[in-house]
Every structure is written in structure tokens, then in C-alpha cells.
Structure 1
Amino acid sequence: MLRDATEEDVNLMLSWRNQEINRMASRTHHVISADEHAHWWAAVRVDPARRVLIYLRDGLPCGVVTFFDLRFDAPRTGSWGFYLDADALAERGETLPAWIDVMRAAVDHAFDVLNLDRLDGEVLAHNTAVRQMNRRFRFVEGTGRAEVHDGREITVIPISLDRAARRRR
């Protein structure tokens, strides 16, 4: 289940984003400071092209789903990303089920709530597990491009999922 993020979620979101596994799967590896996070939160709260949602598993907050670059003219498009409370989910042995569940919830939200025609995103080329999961959800990869972040070169691959290609339950 997804719900809107609130002020009460800010510290949880920051702690999850700063977990090493989440930093290593992101463009930037540095630890996000409280000030940097507060600046981000202040900006997303007032941006009509962004949504920040909390993923709940068995009633517990366990992750963040972000939608951004939302365009509500035709075609309706948007980009997305997510990260989980990887440490707590691993302790409970729930990482894979939560990962599948949050992706399903995010795709459902994109097409059923935001009514998008296409959902876009990005994946790091070296993140083969995420790339495989994206294919399971029928995302299509584009051509990767090299970028430099935090002093390191990475290859970023765009992904997209059209409404018509979406896997239905």
C-alpha cells in the first residue's frame, strides 16, 4: 500500500536513503545531510510535478516511492524511483517480497491513480538485479549514457513502461 508522505516521515526517509545499499544503487553515493534532505523535502512538497509516497508493508512504513517530472497533458508521462528500508526488511527476510510489492504498487499508482500513459525511470547499468526485475515488470531499456557523479563514472540506462504493455494481476 502507498500513502502520501508527511512531515512525520522525513527522518525515516532520510535514514533509509542513507543506508549503504540504497546509496550504492543511486547516482550519488554520498551520505545525504539533514540540511540537504530538508531542502529536498521543502521543494517536493510544493512542486505539482512531484509526488512522494510511503510504502507500507503489513501496516509498517518500509520504503519511499517518488514520482517526478509529471506531465498531465497528452501524453501523460512521469518518472519514478523508489528505495526501501533495506536493513529492516533483510532482518525480517522480506526483501524480495517487499521489492516486488512496492514495484507493483508504484506501477499501479502510476497508471490507475496518476493515470499516466507512460512511466519512465533510470537504472544503473551495473545493477543487474534491478534490471532483471524491471524486465519482469515489462519495462523496456533504452541506450545507456555515461555520467560522472561523486567523482566516479557510471552508466545510466533509461527505462520506460507504456500503459498498454503493463503486466496486470
Structure 2
Amino acid sequence: MLRPATDDDLDAMRQWRNQPPNREVSITSHEITPAEHAAWWSRTRTDPTRRVLIYERDGVPAGVVNFFDLALDGPAPVGSWGFFLDAAGLDERRETLPAWLEVMREAVDHAFDELRLAELRGEVLAGNEVVRQMNRRFRFAEGQPEVREVDGRSITVIPISLARANRRRR
């Protein structure tokens, strides 16, 4: 289940984002400080081009889905997304893979059914083959890789996109 994030979720969101497995596959890999996180939330919660949702698995908060750069007006609404999970908690419960599949299904459904997007966009690190395979499973197409300098490291980022017409239906 996805639900809107609230102020009460801030500590958990930052803790999950700072878990090493999440930082390793994120474009920005530094540890997020409380002040940085609070400033982000202050901007984000009132930004009409963003939606931050909490993913709950069996009633337990277990991840964050972030929609951003939403352009919802016009004939072909678009937006970008990303997500991260409570890697430690899900691993402890041996629920990582089912949660990963579930959050992706729910996020794609939300993008097309609730936000009414015509296209959902995102980015993935080139070396993250596991996520790239999962994205292909969900029918995301990859674009042209781009090299960036972020957090003192050189990374290759691949844009991904999924058109409404190409989405996998349950």
C-alpha cells in the first residue's frame, strides 16, 4: 500500500535512505544529515510537482516512493520517480524481493492510474544490473547513458521511461 508521507515519517525516511545498500545505488551517495533532510522536506511537502509516498508492507512502513518533476497539465502528463526500501528491515524479515516487486507494481499503478501520467521517467546507475533487469521486466526502456560527477565520483546514469501504453498490467 502507498500512502502520503507525513512529518511523522521523516526519521524513518532518512534512516532508510542512509542505509548502505540504498546509498550505493543512488545518484547522490553521501549520508543525508538531519538538517539536509529537514530542508528537503520543507521544500518538498509544498511543491506541487512532487509527491512523496510511504510504501507499507502488511501494515509496516517499509519504503519511500518519490515522484518529482510532475507536469500534470496538458495532453501528455509526465513525471519522474525513484524509490528506496528499508533494506535492513525487509532483509531481516526475508521480504526484500517480494517487497521490491510490490512497490514497483504499486508505484507504476499510482503513476498511471492516480497521477494519470502518459509517461513515467527515472534514472538508474549503469552498474546496477539487478535494477536494470527489474526495470526491463516492468517494460521500462533505457535511453542514452550519461556520465556525471556527483559526490566526488564519476557515475554513468541511464535514463529510463515507461509509456502508459507499454505498461505491464496485472
TM-score computed with the length of structure 2 as normaliser? 0.99
Structure 2 letter corresponding to 1:24: E
CA deviations 1:54-109 (Å, max 9, x no partner) are: 00000000000000000012210000000000001011110000000000000000
Distance 2:87 2:165 in 1: 31
Quote the offset at 1:29 in angstroms: 1.4
The range that moved more, 69-78 or 9-18, is 69-78
Aligned pairs for 1:53-68 within 5 A: 53-68=53-68
Aligned to 2:149: 148
Aligned to 1:85: 86
1:46 equivalent to 2:46? Answer yes
Aligned to 2:95: 94
State the superposition RMSD in angstroms. 0.5
Q: Secondary structure at the match of 2:161?
A: strand
1:13 equivalent to 2:5? Answer no
| Percent of matched pairs sharing the same residue | 63
Unaligned 5+ runs, structure 2: none
Structure 2 letter corresponding to 1:147: R
Runs of 4+ in 1 over 2 A off after TM superposition: none
Aligned to 2:140: 139
Q: Secondary structure at the match of 1:37?
A: helix
Q: Secondary structure at the match of 1:40?
A: helix
Q: Secondary structure at the match of 1:47?
A: coil
How many pairs were matched up? Answer: 169
Aligned to 1:22: 22
Distance 1:156 1:125 in 2: 6
Aligned to 1:119: 120
Q: Secondary structure at the match of 1:28?
A: coil
Distance 2:95 2:76 in 1: 36
Distance 2:56 2:89 in 1: 13
Quote the offset at 1:28 in angstroms: 1.4
Q: Secondary structure at the match of 1:167?
A: coil
Structure 2 letter corresponding to 1:141: E
